[in-house]
A and B are shown apart, each in its own frame.
Chain A
Amino acid sequence: MNYIEKLRTSEDMVTPGMSACQGCCGELVLRRILQISGKNTIVCVPPGCMSGAGVVGWDYQTGMKIPVHIPLLTNTASFLSGVSQMYQRKGRGDVNMIAVAGDGATADGGFQSLSGAAERNEKMLYVCYDNEGYMNTGFQRSSTTTKGSRTSTTPIGEAINGKQQPSKYVALIMSMHALQYCATASPSHMQDMVAKVERGLAESKKGFAFIHVIAPCPTGWSFEPDMSIQIAKKAVASNMFPLWEKYNGNYYITVENKKPIPVKEFLQSMGKYKSLTDDDIAQIQKEADTKYETLKKLASE
Chain B
Amino acid sequence: MSKRVHISPLANEGMYILDTASWRTERPVMNKEKCIECGLCLTYCPVNAIIFDENKYKITYNYCKGCGICAVECPKKAIDMVPEGGGK
Contact = CB atoms under 8 A, between A and B. Distances in A.
Interface string A1-33: 001100111001001111110111101100100
Contact of A63 (B15, B46, B67, B69): B15
A230 B72 contact: yes
Interface residues of B, number: 36
B67 A16 contact: no
Contact of B63 (A8, A16, A190, A227): A16
A16 B46 contact: no
Contact of B47 (A27, A59, A228): A27
B15 A226 contact: no
Contacts of B71: 226
A187 B39 CA distance: 15
Contacts of A31: 46, 48
A54 interface: yes
Interface string B21-39: 0010000000000000011
Which of A3, A8, A20 has the most CB atoms of chain B within a 10 A radius of its CB? Answer: A8
Contact of A23 (B1, B10, B69): B69
A73 interface: no
A56 interface: yes
A295 interface: no
B8 interface: yes
A79 to B, nearest CB: 20
Contacts, number: 102
B72 A22 contact: no
A21 to B, nearest CB: 8
Contacts of B9: 57-59, 61
B20 A7 contact: no
A255 B7 CA distance: 40
Contacts of A24: 46
A298 to B, nearest CB: 30
B8 A16 contact: no
Contact of A229 (B16, B18, B51, B73): B73
Contacts of A228: 46, 67, 69
Nearest to A35: B48
A22 B8 contact: no
Interface of A: 3-4, 7-9, 12, 15-20, 22-25, 27-28, 31, 54, 56-59, 61-63, 187, 190, 224-230
Interface of B: 1, 6-10, 15-20, 23, 38-40, 42-48, 51-52, 62-63, 65-69, 71-73, 81
